[in-house]
Amino acid sequence: MARTDQAETRNHTLYLQIRQALLRGEYASGHRFKLNELCADYAVSVSVVREVLTRLAEQGLASFEPNKGFSVPRPMIEEIDDLAFVRSELETIAIRRSIERGDVQWESGVLAAHYRLAHTPLPSPQESLEAYEQWALVHRSFHDACAAACGSPQLQNMRSTLFHQFEIMRQLSNLGSGQNRDVAQEHADIFNAVMSRDVDQAEEAVRRHIERTRSTSTPPATKGRRRNPEKPRKAEGSIAANLN
């Protein structure tokens, strides 16, 4: 039993270490993972490395191709544009329906979620991945709260999936890094419109927020390849396991 627990701990530790390196941009877009090198770097077996990379691929943080193995995804501009467009459409539908159908309990949920978001610092992943992921969780909770009264489980599931995909794409592409934008004010604009029950203003604020995230940065697939480190950094303490 102890051996099983140790194996699970080793697997999870490796998962956190590689995930940190990915989100910090320590691997270039398109980088192909060499299993033997990761085994040597972390003193683990091939099966452990393969299991960890498979888990990351399931989350969209790695790609897998038969006969080619695992690699860092290459976010393309067209792919990001399409994802942002569909997310914007679904998000505004959910916001509109929530404003029309939401009650006092829904309003209180939006109020609490925005309060937490407004009081959670937004660092870059390079500064503190743990603090950044804490902000990301609170950020998602705010958008979920705004759409919570839409009355459609299918719509909720679709927007939730798109939010997660866009978040992964944003992290890998360093989108919406905060340059030349006031993210807190963007969320305040959404919050104020929602609480005022102003459907048109809320939809406009949501679309503007998603568009600014999409257009702030250029995905690394169109930039020069970043230099890969000789070894990924080791994990600095425990961090949130994922953004699901």
Q: Is the pLDDT confidence value at 138 over 70?
A: yes
Closest Cα to residue 100, out of 138, 139, 162, 152?
A: 152
Q: Which helix (H) or strand (E) holds 65?
A: strand 63-65
Q: According to CATH, where is 1.10.10.10 located in the chain?
A: 2-74
Strand pairing partners for 202? none
Cα separation, 71 vs 32, whole angstroms: 4
Q: Is the pLDDT confidence value at 204 over 60?
A: yes
Looking at residue 222, the DSSP 8-state letter turns out to be: G
Give Cα 65 distance to the centre of its chain: 22
What's the pLDDT band for 221 if we cut at 50, 70, 90?
A: very low
Q: Is the pLDDT confidence value at 227 over 60?
A: no
User: Are 58 and 71 contacting, i.e. CB atoms less than 8 angstroms apart?
Assistant: no
Q: Residue 195 has what pLDDT?
A: 97
Between 20 and 116, the more confident residue is 116
Give Cα 68 distance to the centre of its chain: 26
What is the pLDDT averaged over residues 108-114?
Answer: 98
What is the pLDDT averaged over residues 187-210?
Answer: 97
Give Cβ neighbours of residue 140 (< 8 Å, ≥ 6 apart).
163, 167, 243
Mean per-residue pLDDT of the chain: 83
| Least reliable range by pLDDT among 26-40, 41-55, 136-150, 162-176 | 162-176
What is the pLDDT averaged over residues 7-26?
Answer: 81
Q: Residue 7 has what pLDDT?
A: 67
What is the pLDDT averaged over residues 28-35?
Answer: 88
Q: Residue 130 has what pLDDT?
A: 82
Q: Residue 234 has what pLDDT?
A: 40
Q: What's the token pair of residue 63?
A: 């790609």
Q: Residue 176 has what pLDDT?
A: 47
Q: Is the pLDDT confidence value at 150 over 60?
A: yes
Answer CATH for 2-74 from 1.10.10.10, 3.30.160.250, 1.10.3470.10, 3.40.50.1010: 1.10.10.10
Q: How many CB atoms lie within 10 A of CB 35?
A: 16
Q: What is the pLDDT of residues 38-80, one digit of tens each?
A: 999 888 899 999 999 999 998 888 999 998 999 988 877 888 8
- Three-state DSSP class for 64? strand
The pTM assigned to this predicted structure is 0.74
Between 185 and 244, the more confident residue is 185
What's the pLDDT band for 174 if we cut at 50, 70, 90?
A: low
Q: How many CB atoms lie within 10 A of CB 243?
A: 18
What is the pLDDT averaged over residues 191-198?
Answer: 98
Task: Provide, for the chain, the percentages of residues in helix, strand and coil under a 3-state DSSP scheme, each rounded to the nearest 5.
Answer: 65, 5, 35
Assigned CATH for 77-218: 1.20.120.530
What's the pLDDT band for 215 if we cut at 50, 70, 90?
A: confident
Q: Which amino acid is at 153?
A: P
Q: According to CATH, where is 1.20.120.530 located in the chain?
A: 77-218
